[in-house]
Structure 1
Amino acid sequence: MELIDAAAAAERLGIKQATLYAYVSRGVLRRRHGEDGRRSLFDAAEVEELARKGRPRRPPGASELVIESRITRLGADRPYYRGRDAIELAREESFETVAEWLWGGLPPLPGEPGQPDAWASDPDGVAAARRALPGGLSPLENLQVITTVLGATDTLRFHLDPASVAATGARLISGLVDALPQAAPATLAGGTVAERLWSRLCPAEPEPALLKALETALVLLADHELAASTLAARVAASAKADPYAVVLTGLGVLSGPLHGGASYGAERLLNEIQDPAQASRLIADRLRRGERIPGYGHTVYKHGDARGEALLALVEAAAPGHPRVEAALAVRKETVRRRLPAANIDFALAALTTVAGMIPAAGEAIFAVARTAGWLAHAMEEYGRRTLLRPRAVYTGP
Structure 2
Amino acid sequence: MEWIDAATASERLGVKPATLYAYVSRGVLQRRHSEDGRRSLFSAEEIERLARRGRPRSQPPELVIESAITALGVDRPHYRGIDALGLALTSDFETVAAWLWTADPSLWHPSPPPPSTTPPHPPATSADPRPSAAPAHQRDPQPPATPEPWRCEDDALRAAVTAQRGLPDDLLPLDRLQVITTVLGASDSLRYQLDPVSVAATGRRMIAGLVDALPQLSEPQGDSIAERLWSRLCPRPATPGLLNAVQAALVLLADHELAASTLAARVAASAKADPYAVVLTGLGVLGGPLHGGASYGAERLLAEVAEPRQAARAIAERVRRGERIPGFGHSVYKNGDARGALLLDLVKEAAPGHDRITAGVAVLEEMRRRRLPERNVDFALATLTAVSGMVSGAGEAIFAVARVAGWLAHAMEEYDRGALLRLRASYTGPPVK
- TM-score, normalization: structure 1? 0.83
Q: Please state whether the residue corresponding to 1:384 is helix, strand or coil.
A: helix
Residue of 282, 292, 302 corresponding to 1:270: 302
Q: Which residue of 1 aligns with 2:213?
A: 179
Q: Does 1:297 align with 2:329?
A: yes
Residue of 351, 361, 382 corresponding to 2:393: 361
Which letter maps to 2:62?
Answer: E
* Deviation readout 1:224-250 (Å, 9 max, x if unpaired): 000000000000000000000000000
Q: Is contact 1:157–1:168 with CA below 8 Å preserved after alignment?
A: yes
Q: Find the aligned partners of 1:117 and 1:183 in 2 and give their Cα distance.
A: 24
Q: Which residue of 2 aligns with 1:96?
A: 94
Which letter maps to 1:372?
Answer: V
* Deviation readout 1:342-365 (Å, 9 max, x if unpaired): 100000000000000000010010
Q: Which residue of 2 aligns with 1:124?
A: 155
User: In structure 2, do the counterparts of structure 1 residues 327 and 113 end up closer, same or farther at CA, with 3 Å as the change threshold?
Assistant: same
Count of residue pairs brought into register by the alignment: 348
Within-5 A mapping of 1:139-288: 139-185=173-219, 187-188=220-221, 191-288=223-320
Q: Please state whether the residue corresponding to 1:87 is helix, strand or coil.
A: helix
Q: Give structure 1 stretches of 5+ with no counterpart.
A: 1-11, 17-52
Identity %: 65
Q: Is contact 2:149–2:223 with CA below 8 Å preserved after alignment?
A: no
* Deviation readout 1:72-96 (Å, 9 max, x if unpaired): 0000000000000000000000000
Q: Is contact 1:183–1:203 with CA below 8 Å preserved after alignment?
A: yes
User: In structure 2, do the counterparts of structure 1 residues 365 and 333 end up closer, same or farther at CA, with 3 Å as the change threshold?
Assistant: same
Residue of 73, 81, 84 corresponding to 1:83: 81
- TM-score, normalization: structure 2? 0.77
Q: Find the aligned partners of 1:318 and 1:386 in 2 and give their Cα distance.
A: 46
Q: Which residue of 1 aligns with 2:20?
A: none
User: In structure 2, do the counterparts of structure 1 residues 103 and 182 end up closer, same or farther at CA, with 3 Å as the change threshold?
Assistant: same
Q: Find the aligned partners of 1:231 and 1:351 in 2 and give their Cα distance.
A: 28
User: In structure 2, do the counterparts of structure 1 residues 139 and 229 end up closer, same or farther at CA, with 3 Å as the change threshold?
Assistant: same
**Structure showing greater Rg:** 2
Which letter maps to 1:74?
Answer: L
* Deviation readout 1:193-234 (Å, 9 max, x if unpaired): 000000000001000000000000000000000000000000
Q: Does 1:69 align with 2:71?
A: no
> Per-residue deviation at 1:116?
6.9
Q: Find the aligned partners of 2:271 and 2:382 in 1 and give their Cα distance.
A: 35
> Per-residue deviation at 1:122?
1.9
Which letter maps to 1:208?
Answer: P
User: In structure 2, do the counterparts of structure 1 residues 143 and 63 end up closer, same or farther at CA, with 3 Å as the change threshold?
Assistant: farther
Q: Find the aligned partners of 1:325 and 1:204 in 2 and give their Cα distance.
A: 19
Q: Please state whether the residue corresponding to 1:225 is helix, strand or coil.
A: coil
Q: Is contact 1:118–1:167 with CA below 8 Å preserved after alignment?
A: no
Q: Find the aligned partners of 1:300 and 1:59 in 2 and give their Cα distance.
A: 22
User: In structure 2, do the counterparts of structure 1 residues 110 and 230 end up closer, same or farther at CA, with 3 Å as the change threshold?
Assistant: closer
Q: Is contact 1:184–1:204 with CA below 8 Å preserved after alignment?
A: yes
